[in-house]
Amino acid sequence: MEIAALIASGAFLMLVLVLAVPILRLRHTVDAATRMINDLNERTGPLLGNAATTVENVNTALGQVSTTLDGVNLQLEKVDTVTGHVQQVTGNVANLSTVVSAAAANPLVKLAAFGYGVRKAAAARRHAEQEREVRAELKQRRKQARRLGRGAAGANGDGGASNGAGSPPAGIRRAAR
């Protein structure tokens, strides 16, 4: 029994020696993992602090943007009010323009029509005066031709028509047409 115990203790010693090498290597792996975790903790702390600061800055900026947007919305409401007033003023000016145009255009149209009528009447009167003058001249020449024609009626055989005393002058003839 002692030999069996001695063999069992030798086998156990061999088992411990065989298992000691992987356990030592495992210890080195665990130490390396521990160092990496510690380094990661050391580096993550400032990163998380920076991230928290960045989030706070973003929240501050968003608050400022919100305040700015509120101000812009107030200004847009004012612009809408001003735009509404400008539309009303534009409508009023258009109405006023229509009224002034109607008020000024009616007398102007009447004045233009009156001027046209005066020109037409003056032209008709001049034409009538010229026509009367031409007719009076023709009548006077015919009378003269008749007076002269009675005295010279048999001299050339044409009754006095060849002397031209019965026809009106060239300038008067054109005006009569």
- How far is Cα 65 from Cα 86, in angstroms, rounded to an integer? 30
162 in Cβ contact with 156 (< 8 Å): yes
Q: Distance of CA 144 to CAs 141, 149, 156, Å?
A: 5, 8, 18
Place of tokens 């993992």: 33
> Which has more pLDDT, 90 or 163?
90
pLDDT(87) > 90: yes
Give this prediction's pTM.
Answer: 0.35
Question: Which band of pLDDT confidence, cut at 50, 70 and 90, is reported for residue 169?
Answer: low
Give pLDDT tens digits for 146-156: 988 776 555 45
* Closest by CA position to 21, among listed 33, 9, 29: 29
131 in Cβ contact with 176 (< 8 Å): yes
Question: Which band of pLDDT confidence, cut at 50, 70 and 90, is reported for residue 106?
Answer: confident
Percent of the chain with pLDDT over 90: 38
- How far is Cα 28 from Cα 22, in angstroms, rounded to an integer? 10
| H or E, element range at 133 | helix 2-151
165 in Cβ contact with 141 (< 8 Å): yes
